Amino acid sequence: RYPSDWSLLLMQRLDSLGGCRLLIVGDVMLDRYWFGEVSRISPEAPVPVVKVERLEERLGGAANVARNAAALGGIITLLSVVGDDEAGRSLGQLLSDAGIQAGLQIDRQIDTTVKLRVIGRQQQLLRIDFETTPSHEVLRAKLEDFEERLQDCDVVVLSDYGKGGLTHIAEMIRLARAADKPVLVDPKGDEYAKYAGATIITPNRSELRQVVGRWGSEEELATKAQTLRRRLGLDALLVTRSEEGMTLYRDDEIIQEAAQAREVFDVSGAGDTVIATLAMLIAAGASWDEAVRVANLAAGIVVGKLGTAVVTRHELESVL
């Protein structure tokens, strides 16, 4: 399906990513990892005992989307809500270290969302989540901040993790489209009406199944996906399908990308990498065909890494 100079064309697209401006809004979280050795089972219960030897903190949620886009050379602005706590301050510092301009609204009534993962022998043994829903007043202030920053971006990304930070997402989509900005949404939950009018949504296989029900064939999947796309008034719908790759549905075409054959180590954060890469390519003027191709390559790279991670331009150039 691809012309002989396809890789060269995509390399040129990667060269044009520097300076692309993304405005990313969504639920941020701090991913904490406790790495240790497992050498025995607890005498108190049939569970492994982990002797913690190393701690690590990484950006999660919409912050991981921002980190992935920044790693590709983008000029990134991130809007979100954090608590007035140590985890929120750590998030702010990590964002600053990554060169991301962060507009973090402080909500003193909540705790910053934290996902704590305990890792032993390179396997995740346990995850503990800490989270609370932001207050309405802080979310209204974030919407006003969004409107002010809208003109200074090329593409808008809305990363919904279902933590309550995108209460005003329908209004954000309306404002962005009125400003003629493409809007990419990573959805959550089973109610997609709030995403109506976006340029594209990027559910994974199980997320789409929650909304349209099961399918028994590619034809049935296409019918359900296209019906949903038309009902929501989307330009496109991208379904990420793990070992089956990803499929883009548009009014005039269906683009199927096969998964890249490699060992899958960890799928956490892969959706963040996909939407960040897709947004960067669209901001650079790439076609949907080009953008999906590169996003699929990026997904194949990031699942080979432990935890929430990023894909660099150098890594993409290597696989191209």
Cα gap 11→316, rounded to integer Å: 9
Residue 82 pairs in a beta bridge with 106
User: Alpha-carbon distance 69 to 276, whole Å?
Assistant: 5
Output Rg (C-alpha) for the chain, integer angstroms.
20
Whether 287 and 295 have beta carbons less than 8 Å apart is answered as: no
Residue 251 a catalytic site member: no
Task: Give the strand order in the sheet containing 114-120.
Answer: 48-61, 28-41, 114-120, 123-130
CA atoms in the 13 A half-sphere facing the CB of 190: 6
Amino acid at 40: R
User: Which residue out of 31, 154, 160, 272 is catalytically annotated?
Assistant: 272
Distance CA 267, CA 237 (A): 21
Region of 190 (left: φ > 0; alpha: ψ -120 to 50; beta: rest) is alpha
Tokens of 167: 């209460």
Helices 270-283 and 288-302 pack at an angle, to 10 degrees, of 150
Which residues are marked as active site?
272
